[in-house]
Amino acid sequence: MKQRYMLKTKRRGIFLVLFLMMTLPMVAQNAGEYFEEGGLKYRILDATKQTISVEPQTDFSKYDPAAGDNHPAYDNQLSGTLDFTNPVFHGGKQWTVTEIGERALQRENITEVILPDGITKIGHKAFFQTKSLQKINFPKSLKAIEQQAFRGSGLTEVNIPGATAIGNAAFLSCTDMKTLTIPKVTFLGTMCFRHCSQLKTVTVPVSANIGKKLDASLADYKLLFDLPKDKKSSINYENNSGNVAFGDCYNLTEAILQDGITTVPEAMFCFCGDLKDITIPASVKSVQDEAFRRCLSLTSMNIPGVESIGNNAFLQCWNLRGDLILSNKVKEIKDFAFDHTGFSGIKWEGTDGCKIGNSVFHNCPLLEYVDLHTLKAPAVNNKTLTRHDPKTQANFANGLLSRTIVYLPQGVDFAFEDGEDVNFVKSDGTCAKLSVQDGADFEFPIKFTAKEAVYNKWAVDAERLDADQSKIRDAVWDSFWDADDSKTYDFGDFFFFEDGEDGEIMPLIEYRDFSGIKDGKNCFTMLLPYKVQLPKGFRAYELHLKDNYATPLQGESDYTQYYLFQSVDDGSVLEANKPYLLRIVDGQEHSSEEFVATDVKIAASGSTVKVNDDGNEVTETTPTSAFHNVYSGTLKPQGYKAVEPNQEFLFMGGTERLNNELAANLNTWLLNTDSKGIDVWRPVNGGTATAAPFRGYIQPKNNATSNAKHFVVLMENETTGIDDLQQDKVQNGAQRIYTLDGRYVGTSFDTLPNGIYVIKGKKIVK
């Protein structure tokens, strides 16, 4: 009986327990289970450690990824501040938030999030398009911020102090972000801070493993995604740390790479239009594809230890100016590396073991020379060179304008497409054909012999950037573009074309035209870098000090010297790098095509001193960096030395243009014509006037302050001369009278002081 009673009692107990379990609510206790508290949904990560992740209320599994991007996580019910530092009580236990789950809070109206110490992960698209979110803290415990976690959010400041891996596009298009601090991050996913368009400065730490693959220990995090492939480009980006990390950060002005970083990875700063100051340590050995593409505000670059420069690395860095010097540390330059940069000269001091890609200097309209003469048997893709054939781009010279002088490497037997062997200097110091082009600047760093030299005209078509091209934006990746706040940049003429409609190279068939002055009433000036015999129909003049006036001319103390242009013998040989005044004496039409010479020596411009825009000589320094550009100044004008001890002015000229500032600072006088068509020498003051290359102009000796602020210039009194100097010729009726510098002084000849005047195009001495 006792056993039966005990059995009945046991059965009643089991029934009571089952009854209680059925009447009490279910409580989540196992990993992977969900529960809700305080209006938020959570998932248990570890029941023993009592850790949880924040999860979305919306069931995103019923949407494809693109459609899911359009839905808020809590139907826009959340707002204000979310504080996760307080424990979550559920089922009689205290739970701690250690993760923010996938899409957990996307598109909600929250403004601030406070995360607890111990948080380890912020999930994929956790705060995607949460535009109201302005502030969040990132504890040092955070190991991973997964891909697109904060894409399109409204964060204004990001400070990630710990060893955190940042996934692809994690902060893409955070267009309100103004400050970024990431001193110990371990990985920068592709496009992680792309299009953070208000960001001004950034420091990239060595801990970020720039250029490296994601560490295997982070493989379980959703940090990467497949990248789009551009079928029109040879570049397909990889998921390496730092790739495109700061692309399209238009307002980024300063970037610092910490010492120990070994590469500037693919497109890291592409389309950073305002980037002006970049610090690159000596530890960097490579600049990868498109690293600085379209950094339009970069004016200088110093990469002390670089050895390899990638495809399109500096594509369209239009304001990189001056001379680029590449030391023998540099071993490889890839395709289109310097396409459309603004360099005026490029010198590669490499020797053995170098490789040069295709179209490296494509469309560089300001490039005067490329000096590769120290390279020894470099690897090239094609030994047949052409600058202009779009179908044959596989050679390093493709896209170079015809005006650029190229000093070729040693040890390569180059050939040339028909008509293309122009302005190439072989390793033996000879050039088949030199074409100097009126209007373009020329510098010859090394002397050579030209078998033929011609004086052409730089005839090119120039185009500005159109509306889309002038914007800073990588349109290839439009699918990752959340807001269009593109900046527009206008740099004037940007693209230059010298191919004619029938395929001819226009600068090689165009010439400086003198037909407008065939009547001989006006003169022109010319300086050529080679000796040439004066053609028939031209007369040339040299400038000489004629006399000093004890009694000033024209009654003004400023005029104390006068100079005389004296002709040289017709048919004489005009000296190289000396200016001449010329005029046409046979009444026929002429052009610069007639100034052709053979077997002429071209002197090295490199022996000529250069001057800054202030007129002072450039102080040369010995470079130690593998890659740096310097504004080396303008070639100092050349001409005739003073032959008289008291001569204060000289006739000068050059093969490079003097801009307005420099011309004014050198007290330059240019030949011009007045409203009556009379030749007159006028000083360059403020404004737009420049001293063009291949011209002559008058300057004071050594640019010294001269006692003679003005001077008088006469043509020699010859029966066939341009001007007749007449003595006190009687003037019938009122005539308009001018001084020699074009200043109107009235109509009464008798009342004027003694001097020389211009009346009806004639010089009259009183």
How many whole angstroms separate alpha carbon 146 and alpha carbon 165? 8
CB atoms within 10 A of CB 698: 22
Residue 151 DSSP one-character state: T
Taken in order 662, 667, 673, 679, the sign of the CA dihedral is: negative
Picking from 578, 459, 460, 589, the residue whose alpha carbon sits closest to that of residue 511 is: 459
Picking from 272, 320, 276, 315, the residue whose alpha carbon sits closest to that of residue 295 is: 272
- Consecutive sets of 10 residues in the chain, 766 residues long: mean pLDDT of each? 46 47 58 96 97 98 94 97 97 97 98 98 98 98 98 98 98 97 98 96 98 96 79 60 95 98 97 94 97 93 95 94 93 96 94 94 94 96 88 84 97 94 97 97 97 96 71 56 70 78 90 94 95 97 74 47 84 96 95 98 82 86 79 87 78 95 93 85 88 95 58 51 38 59 66 67 61
For residues 273 and 292, the answer to whether their CB atoms sit within 8 Å is no
Amino acid in position 289 = D
How many whole angstroms separate alpha carbon 217 and alpha carbon 187? 12
Residue 237 pLDDT: 66
How many whole angstroms separate alpha carbon 442 and alpha carbon 448? 14
How many whole angstroms separate alpha carbon 292 and alpha carbon 336? 13
For residues 739 and 713, the answer to whether their CB atoms sit within 8 Å is no
Q: What is the pTM of this model?
A: 0.85
Say if residue 685 is exposed, middle or buried (CB neighbours under 10 Å; 0-12, 13-18, 19+). Answer: exposed
How many whole angstroms separate alpha carbon 386 and alpha carbon 398? 6
How many whole angstroms separate alpha carbon 614 and alpha carbon 595? 34
Residue 483 pLDDT: 65
Say if residue 102 is exposed, middle or buried (CB neighbours under 10 Å; 0-12, 13-18, 19+). Answer: buried
Q: What is the 3-state secondary structure (H, E, C) of 636-648?
A: CCEECCCCCCCCC
Residue 320 pLDDT: 94
For residues 137 and 115, the answer to whether their CB atoms sit within 8 Å is yes
* Domain map (residue ranges) of the chain: 515-720, 727-765
Both tokens assigned to 389: 């054939």
Picking from 294, 122, 287, 268, the residue whose alpha carbon sits closest to that of residue 194 is: 268
Residue 645 pLDDT: 74
Say if residue 568 is exposed, middle or buried (CB neighbours under 10 Å; 0-12, 13-18, 19+). Answer: middle
Residue 266 pLDDT: 96
Q: Contacts from 716-722 at CB under 8 Å and sequence distance 24+?
A: 716/541, 716/564, 716/565, 716/566, 716/567, 718/567, 720/585, 722/520, 722/521, 722/522, 722/523, 722/583, 722/679
Coil vs helix vs strand at 534:
coil
Both tokens assigned to 118: 């111990």
